[in-house]
A and B are shown apart, each in its own frame.
Chain A
Amino acid sequence: MPVLNAKENLVFVVNGRPVRLEVEPDATLLDVLREQLDLTGTKRGCNEGECGACTVLINGEPVASCIYPAVKAHGKNIVTIEGLGDESNLHPVQQAFLEAGAVQCGYCTPGMVLSAKALLDKNPDPTEEEIRIAISGNLCRCTGYGKIVAAVRAAAKALSAE
């Protein structure tokens, strides 16, 4: 098969699990995650790549899934917030957010946590400025970002102590 066409099977890995499914040619990755895979932890915010609520990791990098055609994800490795941890077994970044009070309404949180994770995967000891730039594509209306920055710093410590 030279190229992937509309309605053909999309094959990718979501949270470590291989997935094969038929998607609409103009579906976004966000549509597919939420509507077809029931992974509703990824939020739809502005729907134009301006707020970061829909952030997922594609091959380790944060991406706005609301403007990312689903077909583009063919062959790629996707991580959503559901891929990090669950209530009984939180990822260190999630645990740090909880402890620092970095979550208020929670709408930005899944994207924020994933942006933070992507940063710490590459840069285990980021400066405050590096943290702020890494989360600059994730808008938060509640927290003023201070406790989020503190949480990322705490997560960096926790991860390096592991």
Chain B
Amino acid sequence: MWYGIGNTGLPNPAGAFVQVLYDGTVILSTGCADIGQGSTTALAQIVAEQLGVHVDDVRVVAADTAVTPDAGATSASRQTYISGNAVKKAAANAGLIITGKAAEMLEVPPEDLVLSEGSVFSAADPSIRVTLQEVLAQCRRDGIQVLGAGSFNPAVTGLDEETGQGVPYATYAFATQWAEVEVDTETGQVEVLRVVAAHDVGRAVNPLAVEGQVEGGCAMGLGYALMEEVVIAGGVIANPRLSSYLIPTACDCPEVTTIIVEDAEKTGPFGAKGVGEPALIPTAPAIANAVSNALGIRFYDLPITPEKILRALKARAEQDAGAGRGQ
């Protein structure tokens, strides 16, 4: 599977503000809404990495439309890539003030300086250094605030109305998933025994969160493959409840083995891309292929219910019987 990151062929920028307080606390302000995927943590990690501070020193003000800069929707698998770039730029701009002040203190050109592990030092000679604390103290004495703003908009074009050609996405996620299933040919029940999911995420900012996204995506994909269906009757949803629209329980989900592939994306923050939707998309096709591999019958509509399986098996048995008579 390959899947575009961000909104298709449309500008979809995100913005961010970063301030480094004189005590070393970093305030990150971002409109990015964390709906459980862990973006608040990942964005804090990106800022910490950029400024060479500990992630615990980064406070995130997120998704408050009254005060935070717009980051666009948490959708289209875009926040790690797009807001990630925005917060990285904001942090880098704040960092320029730090390296600028440190350059005065150390008497070296600011572009030679590196921010890492709470210090500012010369890349050429790391012994030429000053602690971040000292630089911030100097900023305070000089009345300089350490602020940075950043925004990022992926390099895309609109799509040609005639040909559909263009650059819809700045980058793509790649994934392969594998499923092992057991099919009861008398009842049509399918048990998914195991899923292995390999995902190129560019760079895993937070590997535990990436695994969480992948495992959750596989569970959604399993539901999509085998049981989930909005039934519409007379224009009305006939199963609008959790008692009639069934999603997988703990007893339905298999063990998922996640393989994180890190092929750094040049335009991504520290190489990162996205993994939201990509985690869910390959699962249903993998399960459908596994069912077809088990039965030798292809299914073209989801969910692949036990009833559809039994009907297909019966149709094949009748066809085989018919062919047998013809010989």
Q: Footprint of B on A, CB under 8 Å?
A: 45-46, 48, 50-51, 101, 103-106, 131-133, 135-149
Question: B208-240: which residues lie under 8 A (CB-CB) from chain A?
Answer: 208-209, 211-212, 215-220
Question: Which residues of chain A come closer than 8 Å to B36, judged between CB atoms?
Answer: 103-106, 142
Known A104-B36, A104-B38, A141-B216; contact A146-B255, beta-carbon cutoff 8 A: yes
Distance from A88 Cβ to chain B, minimum over Cβ atoms (Å): 16
Contact of B250 among A51, A104, A136, A141 (CB under 8 A): A136
Asked whether B215 lies within 8 Å of A46 as measured between CB atoms, the reply is no
**Cα-based distance from A51 to B248 in the complex (angstroms):** 11
The answer to whether A149 and B250 touch across the interface, beta carbons within 8 angstroms, is yes
A139 lies within 8 A of B243 (CB) = no
In B156-211, the 8 Å CB interface with A consists of 208-209, 211
Q: Is the CB of A104 within 8 A of B216?
A: yes
Say how far B324's CB is from chain A's closest CB, in angstroms: 43
Is B35 at the interface (CB under 8 A from chain A)?
yes
Q: Is the CB of B219 within 8 A of A132?
A: no
Q: Beyond A101-B212, A143-B216, list 14 extra A-B contacts (CB 8 Å).
A: A46-B242, A48-B241, A50-B241, A50-B243, A101-B208, A104-B38, A136-B250, A136-B251, A141-B219, A142-B36, A143-B215, A146-B255, A147-B211, A149-B250
Q: Which residue of A lies closest to B221 (CB)?
A: A144
Complex CA–CA separation, A146 to B218 (angstroms): 11
* B102 lies within 8 A of chain A by Cβ: no
Say yes or no: B215 contacts A146, CB within 8 Å.
yes
Q: In the complex, what distance in Å separates the CA atom of A148 from the CA atom of B242?
A: 21
Instruction: List, sorted by A's number, 18 A–B pairs whose CB atoms are closer than 8 Å.
Output: A48-B242, A48-B243, A50-B243, A101-B211, A104-B36, A104-B38, A105-B36, A135-B250, A139-B242, A142-B36, A142-B216, A143-B215, A144-B217, A144-B218, A145-B219, A146-B255, A147-B211, A147-B215
Q: Assess the B241–A46 pair: CB atoms within 8 A.
A: yes
B contact residues around A148 at 8 Å (CB):
250
B5 at the interface (CB under 8 A from A): no
Whether the Cβ atoms of B242 and A145 lie closer than 8 Å is: no
Contact (Cβ within 8 A) A132 B216: no
Chain A residues with Cβ below 8 Å from B256 are 144, 146
Name the B residues within 8 Å of A132 (CB-CB): 250-251
Partner of B249, one of A103, A136, A147: A136
Residue of B nearest to A115 (CB): B250
**Which residues from B are CB-within-8-Å of A106?**
36
Whole-angstrom CA separation of A48 from B215 in the bound complex: 27
Q: B38 to A139, Cβ gap below 8 A? A: no
Residue B253 interfacial (CB < 8 Å): yes
Q: Do B208 and A51 touch across chains, with their CB atoms under 8 A apart?
A: no
Bound state CA distance, A48 and B256, in angstroms?
30
Contacts of B60 in A (CB 8 A): none
Complex: A111 Cα to B82 Cα, angstroms: 34
The answer to whether B35 touches A101, judged by C-beta atoms less than 8 angstroms apart, is no
CB closest chain-B residue, reference A148: B250
> Taking the complex as formed, is B37 at the interface, i.e. its CB lies under 8 A from any CB of chain A?
yes
Closest chain B residue to A132, Cβ basis: B250
Q: Beyond A104-B37, A133-B251, A138-B250, is A143–B212 a contact (Cβ under 8 Å)?
A: yes
Residues of chain A contacted by B241 (CB below 8 angstroms): 46, 48, 50
User: Are B253 and A146 touching (Cβ within 8 A)?
Assistant: yes
Closest to A149 in B: B250
Partner of A145 from B37, B217, B250 at Cβ < 8 Å: B250
Task: State how many angstroms separate the Cβ of A89 from the closest Cβ of chain B.
Answer: 19
**In whole Å, how far is A77's beta carbon from the nearest beta carbon of chain B?**
26
* Chain B residues near A45 (CB-CB < 8 A): 242
**Nearest CB to that of A145 among chain B residues?**
B250
User: Shortest Cβ distance from A13 into chain B, in angstroms?
Assistant: 30
Q: From residue A131, how far is it (CB to closest CB) to chain B in Å? A: 8
